[in-house]
């Protein structure tokens, strides 16, 4: 490592080089990166309200609030910094810098994550009416799908954190405890173990919620499922693990079927996910299992998504139908089985772990 860098310098330079190759292929003069995860990917450090301009030739420049520059330079390999003293000044400085370069085609990443604000883009268009804006999102997502050795190392470390946290949290679940109390315990463990931006979701039955941010008014009940989803990170690289437990000694027949179905789906998904097989082909096979257990009506379509600098990133088969026709490839990191079974009056049932697709196409379990 070099100074305060969290990533080897050669890795960061290689990422920038790959981006510039993409820019040349797309005939871009510069790329303007505002999405937080890609900013981390290129600079090696998380920094809120980020802007980095990458010329196809020449050094990249980062725009920061005045006073932040020394701390940023200590943590990042990029030393070319411009400062501003108020938010509106950022776009004026960015636009002025691009005019000095005489750019005609600019690549933007149109993301939905934090700091990829629409008003920034709209302001840019008003200030730069003669500049053609091109969407870089898909090409950057393709680049980030395939993890380098530093990324794999941090995801493995995140996996250890996630497993430890899940073990401790499952042991404290009991009737009467609120979803937020469970989440508080999980966050306490995760931060103590070194996770910097963990994500915790809790769904205590009887009402299932796919994206179950914990609620203080919902408490664990007898005769229902509790599902916990943990996204632990190491230097903002994530590993996901999800588990469901039934609370109570009298288990309805449908709950037993849901548990057996979930376990068989999990095992079969691991067996079927191979580089020669599309995700959709696996989905089709898994649907036969859902049908056999009479659970197809309760399942969410799609079973896998990518993971890395975001706890959920492409390929995302539950959200983007087109991603279902992709195939897993070496150096992808995948979370599966991501989609739960949602049963009214009982809650949701889910079992999910994180896997690395190795060079031989086999899966390495990271959170098992």
Here the CATH number for the domain that contains residue 205 is: 3.90.230.10
Q: Are residues 111 and 157 in the same domain?
A: no
Domain limits for position 106: 9-144
Tens digits of pLDDT across the chain (368 residues): 445 789 999 999 999 999 999 999 999 999 999 889 999 999 999 988 788 999 999 899 999 999 999 999 999 999 999 998 887 787 788 888 888 889 999 998 876 665 555 656 777 778 888 889 898 999 999 999 999 999 999 999 999 999 999 999 999 999 999 999 999 999 999 999 999 999 999 999 999 999 899 999 999 999 999 999 999 999 999 999 999 999 999 999 999 999 999 999 999 999 999 999 999 999 999 999 999 999 999 999 999 999 999 999 999 999 999 999 999 999 999 999 999 999 999 999 999 999 999 999 999 999 99
Residue 17: CB atoms within 10 Å: 9
For the chain, the domain total comes to 2
The pLDDT, as a whole number, for residue 98 is 86
2 within a domain of the structure (yes/no):
no
Same domain, 294 and 357: yes
Considering 115, 144, 173, which residue would you say is the last residue of a domain? 144
Beta bridge partners of 341: 299, 349
Domain shared by 154 and 138, yes or no: no
Collapse the DSSP code of 316 into the 3-class scheme (helix H, G, I; strand E, B; otherwise coil) and give the result: strand
181 part of a folded domain: yes
**Is residue 96 one of the residues assigned to a domain?**
yes
CA 347 remoteness from chain centre: 25
Residues 137 and 168 in one domain: no
CATH number at residue 100: 3.40.350.10
pTM of the model: 0.92
Listed residues 97, 125, 144: the one ending a domain = 144
- State whether 74 and 152 are in the same domain: no
Whether residue 302 sits in one domain with residue 168: yes
Residues 70 and 107 in one domain: yes
Distances (CA, A) of 271 to 300, 332, 333, 337: 20, 16, 16, 12
Q: Are residues 172 and 43 in the same domain?
A: no
> Do 95 and 199 fall within a single domain?
no
Choose one of 87, 115, 144: the last residue of a domain. Answer: 144
Q: What is the pLDDT of residue 116?
A: 55
pLDDT of residue 2: 46
């Amino acid at each position: 490592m070099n100074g305060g860098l969290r990533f080897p310098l050669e890795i960061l330079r290689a990422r920038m080089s790959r981006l510039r190759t993409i820019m040349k292929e797309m005939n871009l003069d510069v790329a303007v990166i505002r999405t937080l995860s890609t900013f981390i990917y290129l600079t090696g450090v998380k920094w809120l309200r980020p802007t980095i301009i990458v010329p196809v030739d020449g050094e990249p420049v980062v725009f920061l609030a005045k006073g932040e520059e020394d701390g940023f330079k200590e943590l990042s390999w990029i030393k070319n910094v411009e400062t501003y003293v108020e938010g509106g000044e950022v776009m004026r400085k960015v636009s002025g810098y691009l005019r000095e370069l005489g750019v005609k085609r600019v690549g933007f990443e149109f993301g939905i994550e934090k700091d990829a604000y629409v008003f920034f883009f709209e302001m840019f268009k008003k200030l730069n009416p003669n500049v053609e804006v091109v969407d870089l999102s898909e090409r950057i997502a393709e680049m980030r799908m395939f993890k380098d050795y530093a990324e794999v190392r941090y995801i493995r470390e995140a996996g250890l954190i996630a497993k430890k946290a899940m073990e401790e949290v499952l042991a404290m679940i009991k009737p009467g405890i609120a979803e937020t109390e469970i989440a508080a315990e999980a966050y306490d463990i995760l931060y103590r173990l070194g996770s910097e931006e963990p994500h915790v979701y809790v769904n205590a039955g009887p009402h299932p919620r796919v994206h179950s941010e914990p609620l203080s008014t919902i408490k664990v009940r007898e005769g229902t499922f509790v599902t916990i989803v943990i996204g632990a990170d190491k230097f903002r690289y994530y590993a996901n693990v999800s588990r469901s437990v039934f609370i109570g000694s009298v288990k309805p027949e449908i709950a037993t079927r849901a548990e057996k179905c979930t376990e068989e789906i999990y095992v079969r998904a691991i067996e079927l996910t191979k580089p020669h097989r599309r995700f959709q082909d696996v989905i089709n096979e898994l649907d036969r299992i859902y049908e056999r257990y009479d659970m197809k009506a309760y399942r969410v379509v799609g079973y896998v998504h990518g993971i890395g600098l975001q706890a959920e990133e492409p390929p995302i088969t539950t959200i983007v139908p087109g991603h279902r026709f992709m195939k897993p490839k070496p150096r992808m990191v995948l979370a599966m089985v991501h989609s739960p079974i949602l049963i009214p009056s009982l809650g949701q049932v889910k079992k999910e772990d994180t896997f690395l697709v190795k060079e031989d196409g086999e899966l390495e379990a990271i959170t098992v």
